[in-house]
Amino acid sequence: MGKRGRIRGIVRDALDFILEVSKSYHPHEFIGLLSADGDVISDVILLPGMLSSDRNASIRMDMMPLGISYVGSVHNHPHPGSGAARPSTQDLFIFARTGNCHIITFHPYDSDCWRCYDSRGEERELKILED
Ligand code: ZN
């Protein structure tokens, strides 16, 4: 199950990987889980087969991998506009069940094309750590 630690940041390599994966899936969506080393997000577990259309990636909760510790989720929004990174209703459903740190990336996936949210969908700060 996800743990509810207070995450303070993400290692740059993990964030770069997230943005690269976002680009490679575009215009489709992907979903992954974020795992942490202590209080820092250090790894991404992609969930292949759980993405569906080009509009809405979906996690089937009964297909969540067992025995993996994670602190949150990540997915991309291929169709930007105003509020490109705003969580959808479905996102909020997932956020509430998969930890307290959720990254949404959005096209064109530049270094600043991402936001982080807590389990309630409130935007939260996430430091980038150079380790
Ligand atoms: Zn979304």
Q: Amino acid letter at 38?
A: G
pLDDT band (50, 70, 90) for residue 72 = very high
* DSSP summary character for residue 53: S
Q: CB within 8 A of 44, min separation 6: which ones?
A: 14, 17, 18, 21, 32, 33, 34, 35, 74
- Between the CA of 88 and the centroid of ligand 1 the distance, in Å, is 5
Sheet with 40-46: strands ordered across: 114-117, 101-106, 72-77, 31-37, 40-46, 9-11, 127-129
- Between the CA of 53 and the centroid of ligand 1 the distance, in Å, is 12
**Is residue 3 pLDDT above 50, yes or no?**
no
Contact 103, 115 (CB under 8 A): yes
**Is residue 52 pLDDT above 90, yes or no?**
no
Average pLDDT over residues 29-58: 77
- Between the CA of 129 and the centroid of ligand 1 the distance, in Å, is 25
Contact 117, 102 (CB under 8 A): yes
What tens digit of pLDDT does each residue of 74-117 get?
999 998 676 788 999 989 998 998 899 999 999 999 999 999 99
- Between the CA of 82 and the centroid of ligand 1 the distance, in Å, is 14
**In this prediction, what percent of the chain has a pLDDT beyond 90?**
63
Nearest CA to 113 out of 16, 34, 10 is that of 16
Average pLDDT over residues 48-58: 51
**Is residue 62 pLDDT above 70, yes or no?**
no
- Between the CA of 6 and the centroid of ligand 1 the distance, in Å, is 23
pLDDT at residue 67 in the model: 75
What tens digit of pLDDT does each residue of 8-21 get?
999 999 999 999 99
**Is residue 55 pLDDT above 80, yes or no?**
no
